[in-house]
Amino acid sequence: MFFENMYEEMGKFGRIDCLCVCDNLGDHMIGHVYCKFEDEEEAADALNIMSGRYYDGKQMEVEYSPVTDFREARCRDFDEGSCARGGFCNFMHIKPVPNCLIRSLAEDCDYERRKEEDKRRGTRDREDRGRDRDRDSRRKKRKSSHRDSGRDRDRDHDRSRDRRRERKRSRRDRSYSSSRSRSRSRSASRSASQSPAARRDGESGGGGGVDKN
């Protein structure tokens, strides 16, 4: 049961290459558990998280192990059942665990890691979708603002164009009115200049008739 608990707990950090539970009784080896990961970063994560945690009311002390090859550190006499030094042997007395149990635990840990990764990926996907929606909303707001400003510019342009047309029309009207006034004044002056001559001609013609009679 202890081996299963430790394997499941350590398997959360990554694939385990080897997990050894010591059966030694010496002070320098009693209660030791050695876990070798396939990746050093996963071992570092396990060290940071598991250090200081408790198991069965006892605090765990986690550190890196100088042992890299457990096959060289284990007691071959113990594996053959003939170690004369017993539990106080300086070599590792590793508790035997059936390979079928190790494979089953490894499969369970792989499944749990994939499920956790899918959950994190789903959370990231939801966060990404949320960020995409926010980005789309900002884009729509920018486009709407551009359209509004464009419509405002068009309206201002139309107003300016209408004002220019109105000014041109007003200038044409004033010019036409001024030209009509000048033509009327010229006509009046011409008629005024012709009237005295006609009167003088009439006067001279009437006097000549009196003289003939």
139 or 60, greater pLDDT: 60
Residue type (1 letter), 54? Y
Q: Is the pLDDT of residue 131 over 90?
A: no
What is the pLDDT, as a whole number, of residue 127? 67
Query: Residue 100 — φ and ψ, nearest 5°?
Result: -65, -35
Of 193 and 120, the structure prediction assigns the larger pLDDT to 120
Alpha-carbon distances of 178 from 57, 174, 188, 189, 190, rounded to whole Å: 111, 6, 15, 16, 18
User: Do 4 and 21 touch, CB atoms closer than 8 A?
Assistant: no
Distance CA 33, CA 92 (A): 10
- Residue 88 clears pLDDT 60, i.e. is over it: yes
Query: What's residue 19's pLDDT?
Result: 92
Task: Of 85, 67, 64, 63, give the one whose Cα is nearest residue 76.
Answer: 85
As beta bridge partners, residue 92 has: 74
Give just the sign of the alpha carbon dihedral 85, 86, 92, 94.
Answer: positive
Q: What is the pLDDT of residue 209?
A: 47
**The pLDDT of residue 107 is above 60:** yes
**pLDDT band, residue 210 (cuts 50/70/90):** very low
CA atoms of 141 and 139, how far apart (whole Å):
5
What is the chain written as a DSSP string?
Answer: -HHHHHHHHHTTSS-EEEEEEB---STTTTT-EEEEESSHHHHHHHHHHHTT-EETTEE------S---HHHHB-HHHHTT--SSGGG-SSB-BPP--HHHHHHHHHHHHHHHHHHHHHHHHHHHHHHHHHHHHHHHHHHHHHHHHHHHHHHHHHHHHHHHHHHHHHHHHHHHHHHHHHHHHHHHHHHHHHHHHHHHHHHHHHHHHHHHHHH-
Q: Is the pLDDT of residue 33 over 60?
A: yes
Residues 6+ apart with CB under 8 A from 81: none
The mean per-residue pLDDT over the stretch 14-36 comes to 90
For residue 140, the model assigns a pLDDT of 75
Q: Which CATH superfamily groups domain 2-97?
A: RRM (RNA recognition motif) domain (3.30.70.330)
Residue 54's contacts (CB-CB under 8 Å, 6 or more residues apart) are 60
Measured CA to CA, the distance from residue 100 to residue 5 in angstroms comes to 16
Inform me whether the pLDDT recorded for 154 exceeds 90: no
pLDDT at 146 over 90: no
The whole-number pLDDT of residue 122 equals 75
Q: What is the mean pLDDT of residues 139-147?
A: 68
Per-residue pLDDT of 2-22, as tens digits, reads 899 999 999 999 999 999 999
Q: In the chain, where are the structural domains located?
A: 2-97
Mean pLDDT of the chain: 78
What was the pLDDT predicted at 93?
A: 92
Residue 213's pLDDT band (cuts 50, 70, 90): very low
Q: Which residue has the higher pLDDT, 48 or 126?
A: 48
